[in-house]
Every structure is written in structure tokens, then in C-alpha cells.
Amino acid sequence: MTDTRDVILDLQTRMGRAILGQEAVVERLLLTLLCNGNVLVEGLPGLAKTRAVKGLAKNLEADFSRIQFTPDLLPSDVTGSEVYHEEGGAGVFRFEPGPVFANLVLADEINRAPAKVQAALLEAMEERTVTVAGTTHKMPPLFLVMATQNPIEQEGTYPLPEAQLDRFLMHVRIDYPALEDEVEVLRLVRSEERHGGELQASEEKVLQQAIFDARAEIQAVTSSDAIDRYIVDLVHATRSAGEYAEDLGRWIAVGASPRGGIGLDKSARALAWLRGRDHVLPDDVRAVAHDVLRHRLNLSYEANADGVDADQILSRLLELVAVA
């Protein structure tokens, strides 16, 4: 366990050198990769969302592709399509893979593309396959989609439906870095410009096998009956919040699905492993609860009218739901 964990911690450290002041985002991106999931990152422009996944690709033995989502994008622009080729005087159709066939896929501004394109990507995320012209093509064993969206621009966008948001293991919100970190960002960019662009990884890239080994070790992390019940109680509380507080019941229209509980379990075990433990603590569950559940709550009109968001509701539930 120690050797594999050291490799992953080294990968985390390398990413942190290039993405200053966003340690939480780096950790969440790694947790998503270790859990074999996908992540939605929401934040204002210029907060290193793109740089985060590029930093992972730069230090990991992995193919990277970036898809800039626009209103005129077609599903085949994401998945690929059958292309006609002339071979030996005869015409044949051959599948040309699209940019989604990479290990790490950055889906930039996913809410700018129409529903058909979003659905094509989300199908690949969930099923890990793409079907074109009746033929199913498998995604690579190491596969992660990091989708981004800008929270302040709504004109010309197609918001993701709640049912599709549920496909993401985590919904991470990225904020401005601390003042001291922003000073270091200036110096880092200045240094990179002197070297002709982004700094290249000086160490050898981490092999994909290290990720697969880490996943196997995470499977061995134990979760007690009390922790299992705590996870289920938290998810159930989002569906029956009125039993804990009257205002919570008014604010939540639809609670989290069982997929939310599965996501909590996976993420908490991965975090426990990353912190050097072979068992899950309640603090591990609480640490990932907001990122795993915030996009799985459908808030009511009253919540919007009262200026309450999902994070505030989840914080209240974490205070009210006790470990059995």
C-alpha cells in the first residue's frame, strides 16, 4: 500500500506546483480518478480549471484531449464517425475515433452545447462505450472526463438537466486563490514565459498501472456498519429533510438518488486511503459530502426565494444527522 500511495501523493504534489492555491481542486480531481468517476468543475474564468486537468495529463502517462463545447457542435464531433475510404478500388467505411477516445478528456464549457451533444458525452461517461453505425467501441481502461461550466454566463447556454448531472461523481466549485497564492501565481507564470510556455514535467510520468494498483488497494479499505448506515442516513435525509427541520423540508424538492450514496462510499474510501488509513472515518464522509451531493439536490422555488443554496442545506444536514 505504501509504495503505491507514495506514487499518488507525489503526483498530487507535482500537480500542486503548477496549480497554486487550488489544493482542494487537485485533491478532488485525483479522488475522481481513483474512483473511476467523472467530475464537473464550476468556476469563473481564469481560475485554473483547464490547467488542473492539463497538470494531471502532464504528469501521468495518459492521452489528453480537449473539446471546446459550442452551440454548433455535433455529437459526431465528440464521439467520432464512420468515414468513407477507398481501398484497392473498393470503398469501405472506417470508424475514426473522436476526441472522447482519450484517457483524460476536458469538456470545456459543457453547458454551451445542445442536449444531443451533452447526451453523447454523458453516454460515454456512464456506459464507457460509444456506438456508431451499430458497432460498439470501448473507451480506454483509464478514462476520466472533467467538464467545466461558467456560473455567471447564462446567455446561449443549455444547462445540464438534474438527471444528467447525477452522472458526475463530484461537482466541484473553484474559488479565487488566497492573496499569497496569487502572488506566487504571478511569479510562476513569469517563470513559464521565460521558458517559452508551460513548464514541462521534470520527473518521469506516473504510469497508468499505478492508478489501477491504487484502485485495487482502495477496494480493500473497510467501512464499518456504522459508517455504511451514516452514509445512507445522509442520503435519506436529503429526501426527508422535513423530519430534521421544517425549513429544510421546504427547500428540497427532490433529494439525492442511491447513486449519491454509492458516490459517498467510493469517495470516502478513496480519501481514507489517500490519508494513509485502511478504514473510513465519519470525517472522511463529511469531507466529500458537499462535492458528491451538491449537484444531486433539486431545490424548490422557496429555497431560491430565500437565497439558500445546496451547500448551506448540506451543512445543516451534516450537523443534524448523527453517526449511529
Q: What is the pLDDT of residue 192?
A: 67
Looking at the DSSP bridge assignments, the partners of residue 53 are: none
Going by their DSSP bridges, the two strands 80-87 and 90-97 should be labelled as antiparallel
pLDDT at 1: 47
Q: Phi and psi for 179 in degrees, rounded to 5?
A: -55, -45
Is 79 a residue whose pLDDT tops 80? yes
Given a cut of 70, whether residue 270 has pLDDT beyond it is: yes
Buried b (16+ CB within 10 A) or exposed e, 16-38: bebbbbbeebbbbbbbbbbbbbb
What pLDDT is recorded for position 198? 59
Q: What pLDDT, on the 0 to 100 scale, is given for residue 127?
A: 86
pLDDT tens-digit map of 5-51: 999 999 998 888 877 777 888 899 999 999 999 999 887 776 667 78
pLDDT band at 2 (very low <50, low <70, confident <90, very high): low
Q: What is the pLDDT of residue 9?
A: 93
pLDDT value for 278? 93
pLDDT surpasses 70 at 322 = yes
The arithmetic mean of pLDDT across residues 205-221, rounded, is 94
pLDDT at position 202, please? 55
pLDDT of amino acid 271:
97
Average pLDDT over residues 97-116: 89
Give pLDDT tens digits for 226-268.
Answer: 999 999 999 999 998 888 888 888 899 888 999 999 999 999 9
pLDDT digits (tens, 9 = 90+) for 132-191: 877 888 889 999 999 888 776 666 677 777 777 888 999 998 877 777 777 877 777 777
Strands annotated E in the chain? 39-42, 64-68, 80-87, 90-97, 104-108, 129-132, 135-138, 144-149, 170-173, 252-254, 298-299
* Tally of CB atoms within 10 A around 47: 21
- The kind and range of the H/E element at 17 are helix 2-18
| pLDDT for the residue numbered 116 | 86
3-state secondary structure of 87: strand
CA-to-CA distance for 314 and 303, rounded, in angstroms? 13
Domains located in the chain, CATH noted: 2-210 (3.40.50.300), 222-320 (1.10.8.80)
Percentage of the chain exceeding pLDDT 70: 93
**pLDDT tens for each residue of 51-74:** 888 888 888 999 999 999 888 888
What pLDDT sits at residue 197?
61
